[in-house]
């Protein structure tokens, strides 16, 4: 057991903790405990809402019961005189606050900021508009058709503190918007179109004005059909086509490899038969290739990549290529490990003699047939997997045929 380590406690920390405890005890003694005697409860300021006070009610007498009570106290309300004076006082402030981005109420060109609450005073304001088409109760200003002299709109502001209500009418002069060159032309074109629309309302079409304010105009509409998607479709089609070609190439390569593996055991077995009969490697090769060509020309067999490569090797041998090189290139063109191994085996035994070739071919044939069996098993599993989609589709059709009549009968 190791010795326990003791950390020294600073004296100043002990003194601070003791001072805090002593100060707390002194305050409790001088203030008479947690509860302080009161005879009134303070109200909140105007508009701040109700306050809740936790009060301990102590019954005087012999029993001296104590009962905790929660007493709600409403915020302070204005007297009639205070309310009247306050409303008259805040009216100038209210007219300043509703200006928004406008310079004065005599020249209103933008939206007004019709405030709903005057926070410092606890007052709420309700607005009503004499002409809501120019200025609505939310302060939105629509001045597109206003003349240069402007139009007067009276807004009614109803102020209340909950107990007292006062109404004021505020005069607002709505002026036309300040337009730049483009906006002025747009406004004149719109006015000309409205005028022509009234005159041509019985016609099937609206003839647009050819000239506005001494300027000749021409008009254009956006095409109903958007052809922007065509380039994107072209690019998408290009990618899809490239992916399709790549997939076709991969499928062709995969199918070629499968055919090469399926024919490998057959080629090895034929080599073993011809070598056992005393033929040389080249003679056996030629017999296998000639037999394949006869079956293909007779229509009894489709072209197979392994035999096609053997026929190509015969053409190379007839053109004078060395046998070792021709067999090596045959293995490289096939591109699979079994054919590379077969080419190396033939090349080696052509140099060292063919007395051990038969035994080597027998071992290779056993391996080849095992590979073919595994490949056939794998192809069968893939075919079974491909059949799952039609089976699921048929299951879905059957479920729909069973469920839909049941729902129709239920509803």
Cα(201)–Cα(190) distance, rounded to whole angstroms?
16
Task: Identify whether 148 is part of a domain.
Answer: yes
Tell me: do 377 and 264 sit in the same domain: yes
Tell me: do 119 and 186 sit in the same domain: no
Task: Identify whether 363 is part of a domain.
Answer: yes
Give the per-residue pLDDT at 274.
84
Tell me: do 314 and 329 sit in the same domain: yes
Tell me: do 159 and 48 sit in the same domain: no
Tell me: do 92 and 188 sit in the same domain: no
CB contact set of 141 (below 8 Å; sequence gap of 6+): 108, 109, 110, 111, 112, 134, 135, 174
Task: Identify whether 287 is part of a domain.
Answer: yes
Tell me: do 147 and 167 sit in the same domain: yes
Tell me: do 105 and 203 sit in the same domain: no
Task: Identify whether 97 is part of a domain.
Answer: yes
Task: Identify whether 123 is part of a domain.
Answer: yes
CB-based contact 146:175 (threshold 8 Å): yes
CB-based contact 217:211 (threshold 8 Å): yes
Residues of the chain with pLDDT under 50: 1-5, 7
Tell me: do 346 and 278 sit in the same domain: yes
CB contact set of 129 (below 8 Å; sequence gap of 6+): 135, 136, 137, 153, 154, 155, 156
Tell me: do 300 and 378 sit in the same domain: yes
Give the per-residue pLDDT at 404.
85
- The region that residue 354 occupies, defined by phi over 0 for left and psi between -120 and 50 for alpha, beta otherwise, is alpha
Nearest to 266 by CA among 234, 232, 306: 306
Tell me: do 151 and 109 sit in the same domain: yes
What does the block give as tokens for 377? 């098993």
Task: Identify whether 205 is part of a domain.
Answer: yes
Range of the domain at 192: 181-216
Task: Identify whether 397 is part of a domain.
Answer: no
Task: Identify whether 411 is part of a domain.
Answer: no
What's the domain count of the chain?
A: 4
Residues pairing with 165 in the sheet: 160
Tell me: do 136 and 38 sit in the same domain: no
Site of tokens 């090895």? 268
Q: How far apart are the first and last CA of the chain?
A: 81
Give the per-residue pLDDT at 62.
60
The 10s digit of each residue's pLDDT in 88-142 is 888 888 888 888 888 888 888 888 888 888 877 778 889 998 988 888 888 888 8
Neighbours of 142 (CB within 10 A): 14
Residues pairing with 160 in the sheet: 124, 165
Cα(329)–Cα(335) distance, rounded to whole angstroms?
10
Tell me: do 29 and 98 sit in the same domain: no
């Amino acid at each position: 057991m190791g010795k326990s380590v003791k950390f020294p406690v600073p004296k100043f920390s002990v003194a601070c903790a003791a001072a805090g405890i002593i100060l707390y005890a002194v305050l409790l003694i001088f203030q008479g405990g947690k509860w302080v005697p009161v005879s009134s409860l303070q109200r909140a300021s105007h508009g701040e809402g109700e306050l809740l006070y936790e009060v301990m009610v102590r019954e005087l007498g012999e029993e001296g019961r104590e009962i905790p009570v929660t007493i709600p106290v409403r915020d302070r309300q204005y007297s009639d005189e205070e309310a009247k004076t306050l409303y008259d006082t805040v009216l100038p402030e209210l007219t300043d606050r509703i200006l928004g981005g406008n310079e004065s109420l005599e020249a209103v060109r933008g939206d007004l900021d019709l405030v709903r609450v005057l926070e410092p005073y606890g007052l709420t304001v309700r607005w009503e508009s004499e002409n809501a088409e120019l200025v609505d109760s939310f302060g939105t200003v629509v001045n597109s058709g206003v003349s240069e002299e402007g139009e007067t709109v009276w807004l009614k502001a109803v102020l209340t503190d909950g107990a007292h209500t006062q109404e004021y009418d505020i005069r607002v002069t709505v002026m036309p918007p300040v337009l730049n060159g483009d906006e002025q032309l747009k406004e004149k074109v719109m006015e000309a179109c409205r005028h022509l629309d009234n005159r041509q309302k019985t016609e099937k079409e609206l003839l647009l004005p050819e000239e506005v304010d001494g300027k000749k105009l021409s008009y254009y509409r956006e095409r109903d059909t958007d052809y922007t998607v065509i380039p994107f479709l072209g690019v998408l089609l290009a990618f899809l086509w490239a992916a399709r070609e790549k997939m076709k190439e991969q499928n062709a390569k995969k199918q070629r490899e499968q055919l090469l593996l399926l024919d490998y055991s057959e080629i090895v077995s034929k080599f073993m038969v011809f070598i056992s009969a005393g033929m040389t490697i080249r003679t056996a090769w030629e017999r296998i290739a000639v037999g394949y060509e006869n079956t293909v020309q007779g229509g009894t067999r489709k072209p197979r990549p392994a035999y096609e490569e053997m026929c190509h090797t015969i053409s190379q041998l007839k053109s004078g290529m060395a046998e070792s090189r021709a067999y090596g290139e045959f293995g490289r063109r096939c591109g699979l490990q079994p054919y590379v191994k077969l080419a190396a085996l033939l090349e080696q035994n052509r140099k060292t003699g063919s007395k051990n070739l038969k035994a080597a071919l027998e071992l290779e044939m056993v391996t080849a047939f095992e590979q073919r069996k595994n490949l056939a098993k794998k192809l069968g599993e893939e075919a079974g997997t491909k059949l799952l989609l039609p089976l699921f589709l048929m299951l879905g059709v059957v479920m729909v045929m069973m469920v839909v009549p049941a729902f129709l009968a239920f509803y």
